[in-house]
Amino acid sequence: MNATKLFLLATVLFIGALGSTSHAATILYTQNFENPVGFVQSSVYKDLSQQSVNTLYANQPVGFTFSQAFTVETIHLTGGTAFGTGYVDPTGQGDDYSLGMLSTLQNDLLGLSFDVGANDFLNFQLDVSRLGVEGPNGPAANGAPSFRFRLFDNPTGAANLQGNGTLLSFSDLSGADSTNNFTLNWTTLLAPLDASSSSNGKVTLQIDLLSGGYATMDNFIVAASNQPGDVTPPPSVPEPGILMLLSIGLAGMLLASLRRKRVL
């Protein structure tokens, strides 16, 4: 490749990198629930802990806090005792642990609070599946799980379930049904939630299982972006300054090449 082509290539890369980073999502939070601290098996329900989410997952990352209403359980998917043989996860998408939530009997809720800054959207991706719980009057799943994800204005930034009560946007999404209550059938959901009307960028995401009896959820990704549904972090590219230096260096090569041609 001659010097002219190298210079043009570096310039294109430099401009492309600037354009791509300006539209990339900022990842605010990820959680696969694989590291519960002090998991205690329920004495009533198999492969399940009734400890609060904060008891098991507080400070992941440091300072992060969940809010919840009623019971949001932690499920040991590979515990091996539920329904006699344990849960069956054909894809392995849930790994060892996930969260469980009721849609009936009581209104279980989970809240996560974030600051999206000047971005217009909070985008939430997660995996969900129908799931049953074994135990006395254990909650039985009865079909495909349907969730509502609400985004509330939260000017104080405090951890809570519904900010100051001002609903900014919501998204209703459903997973797939499965053959029984112990076989997981994961669906990846992506909720683009409009945060453009927030007071100062501080918002609360609320998770609510609307139907399905009982369901599990895992692999959270929360991102702030100006693009709805974008949870893709910036690509790994050299810093703009490095690309600029590369362009200058290639320009020098081009000039040197032209001088040699004139001498010859």
Q: Quick one: 20 and 80 in the same domain?
A: no
Q: Quick one: 229 and 242 in the same domain?
A: no
Give the per-residue pLDDT at 244. Answer: 46
Q: Which of 9-13, 27-31, 227-231 has the lowest mean pLDDT?
A: 9-13
Overall average pLDDT of the 158-184 stretch: 97
Tell me, what CATH number does 124's domain have? 2.60.120.260
104 or 73, greater pLDDT: 73
Give the per-residue pLDDT at 2. Answer: 52
Task: Look at residue 248 and tell me whether its pLDDT is greater than 80.
Answer: no
Q: Quick one: 116 and 156 in the same domain?
A: yes
Overall average pLDDT of the 218-246 stretch: 77
Assess contact for 224 and 26: CB atoms under 8 A: yes
Q: Which of 155-159, 165-169, 216-220, 238-242 has the lowest mean pLDDT?
A: 238-242
Q: Quick one: 142 and 206 in the same domain?
A: yes
- pTM for the predicted model, two decimal places: 0.82
Q: Quick one: 186 and 220 in the same domain?
A: yes
What is the amino acid identity at position 252?
A: G
What is the extent of the structural domain holding 38? 25-233
Tokens 């040991």 sit at which residue?
A: 76
Q: Quick one: 82 and 17 in the same domain?
A: no
Ramachandran bin of 86, using left for φ above 0, alpha for ψ from -120 to 50, beta for the remaining angles: left
